[in-house]
């Protein structure tokens, strides 16, 4: 009995692999618009697709980031300055894209731009949450809604970068909230656009070493947020809480993978395969730790998180 099940599972995986290997034709004629190309996943994906011969339209936040990317790529790649928190910037970028894609439409839209703030909820105020949501969720929605007519015309792809923290929230702050929102928006968008032949994929990376997740940046942000917290919060957590908590954060950051291609290969597959997946989990920690945790009963997940955490001074 078990042998039949194993054989059936193996056959199913083989057929899926063969199906997913089929590549879209005429890639060299297809335009892909990517947000957040100054560094990290967006920058690497832009260079990766450019080497493959696709027509990359890379959106950067800064002129320095755009200039650096152009130096590392071919003349096919074009850049535009984009702030996803400003509608006027998005409208201008959409018009810029429209002029380049013409009647062919936009084959791929990759919503990659994002920021991260990891902290305890009590340390933050409404503006701290809003800052993250404006970029990671509302900015992504604004870009998508403006670009959709161009994507629909090409019967193309929308690729939204979420996170395993969009499946299980282990940290406070706006990051997980925004990624849960990305998951919800992407699911509804996928169903709506399926009638028009447009496919929507979600990328769910685990921990990766990027500018957003560097140990120095995260530690500095935590110190600043704790300093701005109320005296009552500081009393509850203890003035020496950070000295115990930061080494734990550092250890977690050190487990992050440096191989960003694990993520960009998923993005590339979502854009170039005839049969892309709905979700891509990138990184072994995503596959073996965070996603399994998200499927456990809530009380077990809570118990694991509690036992592995640093406790506040006034914890029961």
Name 167's Cβ contacts closer than 8 Å, sequence gap at least 6: 183, 204, 290, 291, 294
Which long-range contacts (C-beta less than 8 Å, at least 24 apart) are formed by 19-22?
19/275, 20/269, 20/273, 20/275, 20/276, 20/277, 21/273, 22/273, 22/274, 22/275
Query: Where does residue 77 rank: exposed (0-12), middle (13-18), buried (19+ CB within 10 A)?
Result: buried
Asked if 175 is an active-site residue, the reply is: yes
Q: Catalytic: which of 4, 175, 180, 295?
A: 175
Q: What tokens appear for 290 in the block?
A: 């965070």
End-to-end CA gap in the chain:
50
How far apart CA 84 and CA 37 sit, in angstroms, is 12
> Three-class SS of residue 144?
helix
For helices 174-193 and 140-154, what crossing angle results, to 10°? 20
Torsional sign, CA 97, 99, 103, 104: negative
Torsional sign, CA 128, 134, 135, 138: positive
How far apart CA 219 and CA 225 sit, in angstroms, is 10
Q: Does an H or E element contain 34, and which?
A: strand 31-34
Q: What tokens appear for 172 in the block?
A: 């406070």
Q: What tokens appear for 279 in the block?
A: 């979700």
Among all residues, which ones are annotated catalytic?
A: 175
């Amino acid at each position: 009995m078990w042998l039949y099940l194993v054989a059936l599972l193996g056959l199913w995986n083989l057929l899926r692999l063969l199906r997913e290997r089929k590549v879209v034709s005429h890639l060299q004629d297809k335009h892909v618009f990517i947000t957040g190309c100054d560094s990290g996943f967006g920058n690497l994906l832009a260079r990766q697709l450019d080497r493959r011969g696709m027509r990359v339209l890379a959106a950067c936040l800064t002129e320095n980031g755009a200039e650096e990317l152009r130096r590392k790529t071919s003349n096919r790649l074009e850049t535009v300055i984009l702030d996803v928190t400003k509608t006027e910037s998005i409208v201008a970028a959409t018009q810029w894209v429209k002029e380049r894609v013409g009647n062919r439409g936009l084959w791929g839209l990759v919503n990659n731009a994002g920021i991260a703030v990891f902290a305890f909820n009590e340390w933050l105020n409404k503006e701290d949450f809003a800052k993250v949501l404006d970029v990671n969720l509302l900015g992504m929605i604004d870009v998508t809604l403006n670009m959709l007519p161009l994507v629909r015309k090409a019967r193309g792809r929308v690729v939204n970068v979420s996170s395993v923290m969009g499946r299980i929230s282990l940290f406070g702050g706006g990051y997980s909230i925004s990624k849960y929102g990305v998951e919800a928006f992407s699911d509804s968008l996928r169903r709506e656009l399926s009638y028009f032949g447009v496919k929507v994929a979600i990328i769910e990376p685990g921990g990766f070493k990027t500018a957003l997740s560097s140990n120095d940046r995260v530690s500095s942000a935590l110190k600043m947020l704790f300093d701005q917290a109320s005296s009552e919060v500081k009393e509850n957590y203890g003035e020496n809480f950070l000295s115990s908590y930061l080494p734990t954060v550092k250890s977690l950051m050190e487990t992050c993978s440096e191989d960003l291609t694990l993520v960009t290969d998923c993005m590339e597959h979502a854009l170039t395969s005839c049969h892309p997946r709905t979700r891509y989990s990138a990184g072994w920690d995503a596959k073996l730790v965070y996603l399994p945790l998200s499927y456990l009963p809530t009380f077990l997940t809570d118990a694991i998180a509690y036992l592995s955490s640093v406790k506040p001074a006034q914890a029961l």
